A and B are shown apart, each in its own frame.
Chain A
Amino acid sequence: MMNRREFCKKSMIIAGGIALPLTALEIFNPKRLRAEKDGKGNVRWVFLVDIHKCVGCGLCVKACKIENDVNWDANVTRTWVERYVVTKDGHTYIDSPKGARDGFTTQKIDQAHAGLKDVNPDDITKGYFVPKLCNHCENPPCVQVCPVGATYQTKEGVVLVDRSWCIGCGYCVMGCPYGVRYFHPELHVAEKCTLCYHRLCQGMKTACVDACPFGARRVGNIRDPEDPVTKIITTEQVNVLKEEFGTKPQVFYLGYSMEVK
């Protein structure tokens, strides 16, 4: 027969014994501890878009498609430019024909099945262009959902896809709140902006940044306080897209307006 004291003692030992193996199974790995700490190297690429400067020429989209061998005619693109036209009656018309691969050359706004919308210039209160690309989030949801470890983030913060390892399940395409991922029309693997990793690693800028004649797109290292892009991000009014998702996007926007989605 067991008395109450003994019962309490034993049940505590058992509870402790059950809890212990869970932590004991986690093998102490100094390499991983170091990796998970903040010291991830001294480069962290960030992107800065100045909406005021963009004219919607789409040369960035063209350069990106050629530089990165993105299928020219398929309706896929790693970066695109959106047009926002706000009218006096409070309506916002948004379009991005072919991702602005050929720029915006007409005042007619592509409203998909509703056809081309011809807005009277006198009714327009504001119109502007917003370039979009992968946000290379600090907490990339697309990477978390990958079941096979085919997509990952490098120490410089660039989110990449391992084409030989991707199984094409599409979780990442669904997981990205910014819709920047798509399927490669020929390889049938997930595709996305690489932030021109091959160029940045050689000390160059991304193809879209080099193609922009207006300085609307810039790339910089947020860990370098002397970087002009870092200075703008840290001292001026910048915004990010869909902050409420908690993804910590690393593409910053100057001249952001509330209509931008």
Chain B
Amino acid sequence: MKNHVWRPLFVVLAIVGGILIARTLLVPKDFGIHDRGYMYGWHRISSEAEWKKFPVKYKTAEVCIKCHKDKYNDIKDSPHAPISCENCHGPNYDHPKDPVGLKIDRSRALCIRCHALLPYKGSARAKIPGIDPVKHHPEAECVMCHYPHNPTRPNPKYAKPGVKS
């Protein structure tokens, strides 16, 4: 047959070959069907290891207690005992090597997350002592009267008698 009949076929073959070569170069070696089969497990498996390497920032209260036993004793019998240290003191990151993360949040905004009164019957929120943030001493920070580690005591730093818990 004449050459001009075959020529388009060579062009098509070259394109197909080019795509196949590009595919082997671009698609990672570990790309394929993994644990969850075709439908849910078609992926690059090294991506799992990448996610596993993601740095942990919140190291939990267990880590804090190792060095700060005194603070643990301070809070352990308080109504605030279930609150993890890092919720107020900030995430651990690499403390004590790198204390950058530990920025204590003493703000009113933190306290009213739980203590702004929301009167929803049946909800656990209604059982928490609550205030109206607009009316209850809006000029002051909560910690000026209330001791955060144990709200049943007044804050010794500001020693103000007669504060109700």
- Are A204 and B60 closer than 8 Å at their CB atoms? yes
Chain B 84-126 near chain A by CB (<8 Å), digits 1 or 0: 1011000100000000000000000100111011111111110
* Distance in angstroms between the alpha carbons of A115 and B124 in the assembled complex: 27
- Are B44 and A162 closer than 8 Å at their CB atoms? yes
- Are A32 and B40 closer than 8 Å at their CB atoms? no
- Are B37 and A35 closer than 8 Å at their CB atoms? yes
Instruction: Give B19-44 interface residues, CB cut-off 8 Å to A.
Output: 31, 33-44
- Are A198 and B52 closer than 8 Å at their CB atoms? yes
- B contact residues around A106 at 8 Å (CB): 116, 133
> Cβ of B53 < 8 Å from any Cβ of A?
yes
> Cβ of A176 < 8 Å from any Cβ of B?
no
A-B contact count (CB 8 A): 162
- A contact residues around B43 at 8 Å (CB): 149-152, 162, 165
- Are B56 and A198 closer than 8 Å at their CB atoms? yes
| Shortest CB distance B102–A (Å) | 12
* B33 to A, closest residue via Cβ: A32
- Are A198 and B51 closer than 8 Å at their CB atoms? yes
- A contact residues around B86 at 8 Å (CB): 63, 210-211
Interface size of B in residues (CB-CB distance below 8 Å): 46
- A contact residues around B112 at 8 Å (CB): 103, 105
- Which residues from chain B sit less than 8 Å from chain A, CB to CB? 31, 33-44, 47-48, 51-58, 60, 82-84, 86-87, 91, 109, 112-114, 116-125, 128, 133
- B contact residues around A213 at 8 Å (CB): 82-84, 87
Instruction: Give A200-226 interface residues, CB cut-off 8 Å to B.
Output: 201-202, 204-205, 207, 210-211, 213-215
